[in-house]
Amino acid sequence: MKNFQIIKALSSSSAVASITKDTSVMFIAGGTNLVDLMKKNVVAPDKLIDINALDLKKIEFLNGKVSIGALAKNSQVAEDQSIKEKLPLLALALAAGASQQIRHMATVGGNMLQRTRCPYFYNTDMPCNKRVPKSGCGAIGGTNRMAAVFGTSDSCIAVHPSDMCVALAALDATVLVEGPKGKRQINFTDFHRLPGNTPEKDNTLEIRELITSIEIPDNNFTKNVHYLKVRDRSSYAFALVSVAVALELKNNVISNAKLAMGGVAHKPWRLTETEDFLKGKTASEDIFKQAGKLGMKGARGYGDNDFKLTLGANAITEALTIAASK
Ligand X SMILES: Cc1cc2nc3c(=O)[nH]c(=O)nc-3n(C[C@H](O)[C@H](O)[C@H](O)COP(=O)(O)OP(=O)(O)OC[C@H]3O[C@@H](n4cnc5c(N)ncnc54)[C@H](O)[C@@H]3O)c2cc1C
Given other proteins, ligand X, ligand SF4, none, residue 187, with its beta carbon under 5 to 8 Å by kind, binds none
Binding region for other proteins (CB under 8 A): 1-11, 13-15, 17-18, 28, 31-32, 35-36, 38-40, 47-50, 52, 98-102, 104-105, 234-236
- C-beta of 199: minimal distance to ligand X in Å? 16
Nearest of 215, 217, 203 to residue 175 by alpha carbon: 215
- Asked if residue 70 binds ligand SF4 (CB under 6 A), the reply is no
241 binds ligand SF4 (CB under 6 A): no
Residues 117-156: x where in contact with ligand SF4 by CB under 6 A, - otherwise, as a string: -x-xx------xxx------xxx----------------x
Which residues, including other chains, have CB under 8 Å from residue 14's CB and lie 6 or more apart?
Answer: none
Tell the smallest beta-carbon distance from residue 101 to ligand X (Å).
9
Is 161 a binding residue for ligand SF4 by CB under 6 A? The answer is no
Chain residue whose CB lies nearest ligand X: 110
Site string for ligand X, 149-188 (x = CB under 6 A): ------------xxxx------------------------
Instruction: Give the 3-state secondary structure of the chain.
Output: CCCCEEEECCCHHHHHHCCCCCCCEEEECCCCCHHHHHHCCCCCCCEEEECCCCCCCCEEEECCEEEEECCCEHHHHHCCHHHHHHCHHHHHHHHCCCCHHHHHHCEHHHHHHCCCCCHHHHCCCCCECCCCCCCCECCCCCCCCCCCCCCCCCCCCCCCCCCHHHHHHHCCCEEEEEECCEEEEEEHHHHECCCCCCCCCCECCCCCCEEEEEEEECCCCCCEEEEEEECCCCCCCCCCEEEEEEEEEECCEEEEEEEEEECCCCCCEECHHHHHHHCCCECCHHHHHHHHHHHCCCCCCCCCCCHHHHHHHHHHHHHHHHHHCC
What is d(CA 323, CA 150) in angstroms, rounded to the nearest whole number? Answer: 24
Contact set for ligand X, span 279-308 (CB under 6 A):
none
Which one, 135 or 235, has the nearer CB to other proteins?
A: 235
Give the nearer residue to ligand SF4 in terms of CB position, either 159 or 324.
Answer: 159
Binding mask 237-276 for ligand X (x = CB under 6 A): -x--------------------------------------
Determine if 32 is a binding residue for ligand X (CB under 6 A): yes
Rounded least distance, CB 48 to ligand X, Å: 8
Closer Cβ to other proteins, 15 or 296, answer by number: 15
Query: Residues in the site for ligand SF4, rule: CB under 6 A?
Result: 116, 118, 120-121, 128-130, 137-139, 156-158, 199
Query: Residues in the site for ligand X, rule: CB under 6 A?
Result: 26-34, 36, 51, 70, 74, 97-98, 102, 105-107, 109-111, 113-114, 161-164, 210-211, 238
